[in-house]
A and B are shown apart, each in its own frame.
Chain A
Amino acid sequence: MSSIHEITLMLNGDPVEAAVAAHTLLVDFLRDSHALRGVKRSCDMQVCGACTVLVDGRPVSSCTMLAVDADGASVVTIEGLGGPDGLDPVQEAFLEHGALQCGFCTPGFILATKALLATNPSPSREEIVHHLSGNICRCTGYQKIIEAVESLAR
């Protein structure tokens, strides 16, 4: 039996309280308990980036983080971007540049981009490539993704 823990967190801006078993992974907590299906599980080993979420602004692999670790943190998934007034600028840039095809990798790329721009608002092309090198896309060939992010650099 795992120990059970009461956790409180901000999830996409809303306060959430939950009881989680110690061995619950964050990806399952988000997808199964909160129906946030924009969080994808693919490689399950921190290589592909499909499961990327922001925890206190840092990009993490939710496939390899415990839900209990999110206690006290602010967690943002793709569902937390944009709002009634429209899409987030990063989402807009991906659309404008055709930086997605099937879209499976897109939430991860967009959140990874948010994390990059938060610490480095004017990344060079080289910095963009380095930062996104842990996210895998099987469709686009990356070129348009890099162009979309370049268009956001100030």
Chain B
Amino acid sequence: MLPRPFTYHRPTSLDEAVTLMARHVDDVSPYAGGTELLLAMKMHFADYEHLVDLKRISELRAVKRNGGTLSIGALATHAAIAADAAIQGSLPALAGLCGSIANARVRAAGTIGGNLCFAEPRADPPVLLAALDAQLCLISARGERHVAASQFITGALETVRAPDEILLRIDIPLTARSTRYERVVHGHRTVAGAAAVIAQDAHAAPRVWLGCVATHPVALPNAEAHVAANPGVLDNALTQAIASDIARLDIADDEDASADYRRHLATTVAIRAITATVEQEERA
């Protein structure tokens, strides 16, 4: 199918893009790789009068390391992130994930910002970015604001982004010593994904996040508390802590997995992610 007709705008500066978003706020969508947006528009699930193409604003692609922070432009593609030496060196878990999701064509066109802003319930990067306590920087005519990745997505296809806001970049504090994302894929999408992060600072709490299971990524607080109290211990109590977190989630049957099977997979990926960080800690 074809998308319905629309007006296409191609700003070459951020100022111009912000102005266009403000002017057409009633019926506008930012447009990046189009791998989700065009699909939704072709299927007539989504329909906009105006698309503002962000791809010709080169500053939105930049990847920079400023001291202890890694900044990734929202328009960086999965392929660019996977191939970036700074990201491979400082955050191999993210480079590895972006090099393995979807297929080579989607990785070449799809951006990390588009992945976050679409908030597809089966998206992987939001889970890892929440566990890493990344901060998102958004801009509109009202100015810039920062939102924690862990609070950005609020439901299936729902975020706190205002209709005229553009995601500029993702700032990731490089404070982790061990990081792992584990997932199980069925067909083209992940059915359960978990991220575990152990900080360099022994006083900072470990973070364990789960995604692709409920409508959006969630923390597993009992698992986090167990890991904090029993570092390096992989026992039955850990499995029970994870299971108790997962029992509280609202999980539905879908075409990929029954709710019970998905709970089982969720527990499995969480254990795998935590186990991998324990192994990394032992090597460190």
Given A2-B5, A22-B5, A23-B5, A69:B104 Cβ within 8 A:
no
Would you call B38 and A59 a contact (CB within 8 A)?
no
Which chain A residue shows the least CB distance to B107? Answer: A134
Interface size on B, residues (CB 8 A): 28
Let me know if A60 and B105 touch, CB within 8 A: yes
Contact indicator per residue, chain A 114-152, by CB within 8 Å of chain B (1) or not (0): 011000000000000011111100000000000000000
The stretch from A39-47, A81-89, A93-101 touching chain B is A39-47
Other-chain contact of A22, B8, B79, B102, B109 (Cβ < 8 Å): B8
Q: Inside 8 A of B106's CB, which chain A residues have their CB?
A: 46, 61, 134
- Please name all residues of chain B whose beta carbon is closer than 8 Å to the beta carbon of A31 when the two chains form the complex: none
**Do the beta carbons of B104 and A66 come within 8 Å of each other?**
no
Does A64 lie within 8 Å of B38, measured CB to CB?
yes
A49 contacts chain B at the CB level, 8 A cutoff: yes
Which residues of A have CB within 8 Å of B34?
64-66, 69
On chain B, the residues within 8 Å of A135 by CB distance are 103
Q: Tally of A-B residue pairs with Cβ under 8 A?
A: 84
Chain A residues near B79 (CB-CB < 8 A): 58
A49 to B106 CA separation, bound complex (whole angstroms): 10
Asked if A110 is an interface residue, CB under 8 A from chain B, the answer is: no
Q: Which residues on the B side are within 8 Å of A47 (C-beta)?
A: 103, 188
Give the contacts of B49-100 with A (CB-CB under 8 A). 51, 53, 55, 79, 100
Q: Report 14 cross-chain contacts, Cβ distance below 8 Å, ordered by A residue.
A: A22-B5, A22-B7, A23-B4, A25-B38, A44-B42, A45-B39, A58-B79, A60-B109, A64-B34, A64-B38, A68-B8, A69-B34, A112-B105, A130-B100
Residues of A within 8 A of B (CB): 1-3, 5, 21-23, 25, 28, 44-47, 49, 52, 58-61, 64-66, 68-69, 112, 115-116, 130-135
